[in-house]
Structures are given as structure tokens and as C-alpha cells.
Structure 1
Amino acid sequence: MQNLLDPAILFFVFGVFAGAVRSNLEIPPAIAKFLSLYLLMALGLKGGFALSQSGFGAQVGVGLGAALTMAFVVPLLGYAFLKRHVSRFDAAAVAASYGSVSAVTFVTAMQFLETNELAYGGHMAAAMVIMESPAILIAVLLANRLRQQAAAAVPAGVVVNGGGAALAGGPGATGAASPLSLRKVLHESFTDGAQMLLLGAMVIGYATGDAGKAVMQPFSGDLFKGMLAFFLLDMGLMVARNFSSVRGKSPVLVAYAAVAPFVHASIALALAALLGMSAPDAALLMVLSASASYIVVPAVLRYAVPEANPSLYFGLSLGVTFPINMLIGIPLYTSLAVRVLG
């Protein structure tokens, strides 16, 4: 209930309401992009300042190792389940979205911890970056394998053309549309502007330490809550606009989008307990594991896995999982982490 009374969360709820009643309220795209860049820059600075105080100890290695582990576990589990209910290309794409992370969910969780005076490690911002790309890599490898299997199943003298087949040399035999190469996909993933800004801000925050923190306090501290509320208003409007993309989808997929976050968070909590992570760091690991990407991964998968249906991996992550994590997940994950790990 405390999370629902947070002004930033209330602005998110208000945005959903405004969008649901078809209000003409909107945030101009340029401003929305600025808010996104601001939050990433402020998050990176906060992480860097925290790291400059704590240093690089065993706790940092444990946290990053746990994040990397979850980055592989979540998409592989998702694919194993989803391939029995949808096409394997769709399964790979949806699993990749859920194996990656939502920066907005993470930023909101970080603010929730600060409001409740729970000190987390600055390295968890780097953990978010680490968890972004492995799921994309897995999706691309799975898609390439599926294409190879499909090509091997086509009789000699027939080439795949788009979604069907044509006789070699015959009408319409223009060959398959070649997807992005694995190298290009990985380059786009690792050089994505959002990730580079976050990492760059972390390095700057770490290098400048307490002096930099004092100078940047009005920017990365005082303004942060208001900027987050403004951005969550825009996210609420976007969620409302994407409700229609979830309608008509398989009940199994909708159930996956609703239940999977709690399953992934439970696995993350068990791993955190096994590794002896602190409760705030474990809460952030749970949030990262439970979130789903609706920006970076869909943008890459649209070209890397063109066989998949974008309305599935975008609509489910934004229309179902994102609001569940914002309204229920973050306080629940934090409460469980504190109860289990103290």
C-alpha cells in the first residue's frame, strides 16, 4: 500500500487512467526521450558515487555473478516453456524480452529502496547492464538454429522465400531475406546508447567520488523524484495505449506474462540467499529478474528475428508485466528480500 501512495507511482496510475479514457494528454516524444536519458544518467551517477565509497570487494563480484547467472537462466526457462504453446520463433523472442530487463522498473525500485532507507550497492546498476544482452544473444542463436533446421528440411532444389518456398529458378525464387548477422546484433546490443550512457555516467561518478556527488546533487538527487514521476506518467499513457495488443492473445501467454515475474524473482531470491547477498541487493536482483524489456530488446529483435510477432513480446511485457511489477512486484520483492535475508 505504501508503494501505491508514492507520488511517482500515482502519476503512473493516473497516466493509465488518462490513456484508458482516451484523453488527449500526451508527452511529446522528444521530452519523453530526454526524461529517459536523464534517468539513466542520474542512475549511473548514483551507482558510481556509491561504488567510489564501497570500492570493488567480494560483494561486487557476487552481485554481478548472480546477475549474469539470471541473465541466462530466465530466457532458457522461458523458451523451454513457451515453445510448447507458440511457434519457436515467437518463443525465442518472448523469452528474450523476459530474460532482459526494464530500466524504468529498476530505477523505480531503486527509488523505492532509497525512500525506505535501504542501502543498495552501486554495482547493481552495472548488473542491470550485464543482464541486457545475454537474452538477445540466446534469441539470435536459437533463431539461427531454427532457420538451419528449416533449411535442412526443405527438399533439394527448393529455396526458402520469405515465409514459404519456391522452386529454384522458378517464379518468385528470390531467396530468403537475410536477417541481421550475429555480429551486427551483438554490436548494436553492446553499443546501445542507453547502456553506454549508463556505464559512462557510472565511470564519471566513480572517478569524481564525493566531490562529484556534492556538485551533481541538484541534478542527480533533488530533481530525480520529479523527473521519475513525469516519466512514469508517460509510461502509464503508453501502457494504456497497448492494452489492445494483449486482447485476443492466448490465455497461456497472458498467464505467463503475469506469473513469470514472480517465478523469476523467487529463483533470484534463492540464488541471493545461497550467495549471501544483502537484502537490498537481493531485492534489486529480484526486480531485474522479474522485469521484461520493452524498448531495447524489441527494437533489436524486430530485425534479428523477423519471423516473430512483435505484438507478443512487446504487448505482453509492457501491457501486463510492467504494470504488475510497478504496482505489486517492487514492494513485494523488497519485503520478501528483507524477510528472508534480514
Structure 2
Amino acid sequence: MSDPVILFFVLGLTAGLCRSDLKIPGVLYESLSIVLLLAIGLKGGVALSKHNPADLFAPILIVTLAAMLVPIIAFTIASYFGRYKRADAGALAAHYGSVSVVTFAVGSSFLVRQSEEFEGFISVFLVILEIPGLLVGVALARWAATQTRWGNLIHEIITGKSIVLLVGGMVIGYFCGEDGAASIAPLFFGLFKGLLAIFLLEMGLVTAGRLAELKKSGIFLVVFGILMPLLGATIGILTAMVINLSVGGATLLATLFASASYIAAPAAIRMAVPEANPSLSIGASLGVTFPLNITIGIPLYYTFSQWLLGANQ
């Protein structure tokens, strides 16, 4: 909790709960999100330029298949234990099957602070894992439906802001390489942590506004929001062992598997499953899972990764 990035989130959360008039201008929030997404994509692209992309095909396939277990587990828990209707269970599955870019950024910042190295190509997994979880969640929600326009849905997901900026930044970083990206490094790399801190200040304010929704949903959603990241992180670390990632890489992969989307997923669900109650999925992902991950989750995943992988490295 001594990390200033996390303390900025706590400041925003406290201000929101105290009903302060503190607000981050919408234009600044959008600008920060664009810079952060591009920065993560650029870092991944620069790291990818140092590897043969063909060598990553098998790890990407394994990670993608493993990640598809997360929305299936989430749907099963929400349906059979939470007794949610198919649409709401599918929406929860989509949110938890997709990933949070901001949580990934906090995880990267945490590892840098710990002087723990990690594979730069992990950003490639971030880009790829935005999509399959959403599609699996929607498929589970619309299993018996015939009117779902899958072509429109896939187009909406692929052309969404997050994917375009992450993929675009990665392509630019790949073709420019480390030397080519040096001229823009002061903005995208040097200021990254400061920009992330301001972004998390806003996320704290937003999270405070979502806590009221959890009171209406009952204890199950809180338990779900705690249990799913732990299950996801476990799958992520086991997958990291299969593809021989470092401790840092395993921590970030666990963080991705443990995270829940609150940007791309709500837009996709609103289009594909309009009958789902958005307060359930957003309340759990942003009100419980996000603060859990960035406060105690990431350090926990790091410790677990050290325990399982540290002896072998």
C-alpha cells in the first residue's frame, strides 16, 4: 500500500465516499486512457521486435485456451450458485473472461518497483485476451437465441478503442524497435507511472459510486467478486508454468486472468445482451475485483508465483 499509484486510488475512493466535489474532467480522463493504452501497446511491440513472432504462436494458443476457462467457470458459479438468469450470468462471464488494461498497468508498475523483470511480450497476451472471453460470455448468454448478429458483435469488439490503441501501439513499437521508439519514450514510458496515478484517482472516484450497487445485489456478488480473481489467478500461474514464464511474467499473467473488464465488456454486453442487468457485472468487476486486485491481489499473485516458480529459476 506504500506505492503512490495505489494511494492515488485510495485518495479517489475516499473522496468519493466522502461525497467530495473532486472530479477529473472527462477530456482529461479520455486523454489519459489513450496515452496509457498506447504506452502499453508500444512497450509490447518493442519487446516483440526482439523475438521471432513464430516462437510465440504456441504460448499464445495455450494462454488463449486456458483463459477461456475463466468465463465458463464464472458462468457456472453465477448460474448454479447465484441462481442468476442466463443473460446476467453470461454478462458476468464476459466481464471476467475479458481483461483490465489498468489492472495490468498497475501490475507492471508493481514489478518495476520490486525490480522484478518480466517478459515484454506479455503485452501481446493483454491484447489477445480482450476478445475470447467476451465472445464466450456472450455465447453462453445467447446460447438459445438466434437473433444475435455475431458479425456486428465481433466487429464492434475488434474496432473498439482499447483494441485499436493496443494493437496500433504494438505494431508501431514492433516496426520502430527500441531505437526508433526512443524519441517518444519520455512521454509514453517516462511519464507512464505519473499518468497512471492520475487515472487511478479517477478510478477511485468511479469505484466509490459503484459501491451502492453492491448493497442492492446482496452478499453473493461480493463473494463472487473475491472468488473469481483468485480462481483466475491460479489458472494464470499454472498456465505460466506450462509455457515457462519467469516469476514476473507469471505474476502478470495471473493478474490478467484475475482481472475483469469494465471498459470493453460493458459496451459489448450492452449491444449483444441488452436484457442483462449492468449493475451486477459492473458492480462486481469495478466495485470488488478491481480494488481487490490492485491492493492485495497483485502482491499475493507475486508471492504465489515466487513460491511455485522461484525454486526453478
Scaled to the shorter chain, the TM-score interval is over 0.9
Deviation at 1:214, TM superposition (A): 2.1
Counterpart amino acid of residue 315 in structure 1: G
Name 1:295's counterpart in structure 2. 263
Distance of 1:96 and 1:198 partners within structure 2: 20
Matches within 5 A, 1:264-279: 264-279=232-247
Counterpart amino acid of residue 144 in structure 1: R
1:188 aligns with 2:156: yes
Counterpart amino acid of residue 14 in structure 1: L
1:31 maps to which of 10, 18, 28: 28
Counterpart amino acid of residue 67 in structure 1: V
Distance of 2:158 and 2:244 partners within structure 1: 30
- Residue 47 of structure 1 contacts residue 121 of structure 1 at CA under 8 Å; is this kept in 2? no
Deviation at 1:336, TM superposition (A): 1.4
2:226 maps to which of 248, 255, 258: 258
- Residue 140 of structure 1 contacts residue 182 of structure 1 at CA under 8 Å; is this kept in 2? no
2:195 maps to which of 227, 233, 240: 227
- Residue 12 of structure 1 contacts residue 233 of structure 1 at CA under 8 Å; is this kept in 2? yes
Distance of 2:48 and 2:290 partners within structure 1: 28
Name 1:11's counterpart in structure 2. 8
Name 1:73's counterpart in structure 2. 69
- Residue 119 of structure 2 contacts residue 245 of structure 2 at CA under 8 Å; is this kept in 1? no
Distance of 2:116 and 2:188 partners within structure 1: 18
Distance of 2:101 and 2:79 partners within structure 1: 27
Deviations, residues 195-223 of structure 1 (Å, cap 9, x unaligned): 11111111111111121232122112221
Deviation at 1:55, TM superposition (A): 4.1
Q: SS at the partner of 1:145?
A: coil
1:248 aligns with 2:216: yes
How many residues matched?
308
Deviations, residues 176-213 of structure 1 (Å, cap 9, x unaligned): xx6x5111001011111221111111111111112123
Gaps of 5+ in 2: none
Change (3 A) 1:314 1:226: same
Deviations, residues 79-115 of structure 1 (Å, cap 9, x unaligned): 1221112111111110110011011000111111122
1:323 aligns with 2:284: no
Change (3 A) 1:18 1:63: farther
- Residue 19 of structure 1 contacts residue 236 of structure 1 at CA under 8 Å; is this kept in 2? yes
Q: SS at the partner of 2:142?
A: helix
Q: CA RMSD in A?
A: 1.6
Name 1:131's counterpart in structure 2. 129
TM-score normalised by length of structure 2: 0.94
Q: SS at the partner of 1:292?
A: coil
Name 1:156's counterpart in structure 2. none
Distance of 1:82 and 1:144 partners within structure 2: 15
Distance of 1:247 and 1:212 partners within structure 2: 51
1:45 aligns with 2:13: no
Distance of 2:58 and 2:203 partners within structure 1: 32
Distance of 1:106 and 1:129 partners within structure 2: 11
Counterpart amino acid of residue 86 in structure 1: Y
- Residue 62 of structure 1 contacts residue 277 of structure 1 at CA under 8 Å; is this kept in 2? no
Gaps of 5+ in 1: 149-177
Deviation at 1:233, TM superposition (A): 0.4
Instruction: Find runs of 4+ consecutive structure 1 residues off by over 4 angstroms.
Output: none
1:286 maps to which of 254, 277, 280: 254
Name 1:167's counterpart in structure 2. none
Name 2:96's counterpart in structure 1. 98
Name 1:174's counterpart in structure 2. none
Matches within 5 A, 1:303-314: 303-314=271-282
- Percent sequence identity is 42
Deviation at 1:312, TM superposition (A): 0.5
Change (3 A) 1:222 1:31: same
Name 2:57's counterpart in structure 1. 61
Deviation at 1:67, TM superposition (A): 2.6
- Residue 63 of structure 1 contacts residue 123 of structure 1 at CA under 8 Å; is this kept in 2? no
Distance of 1:57 and 1:143 partners within structure 2: 35
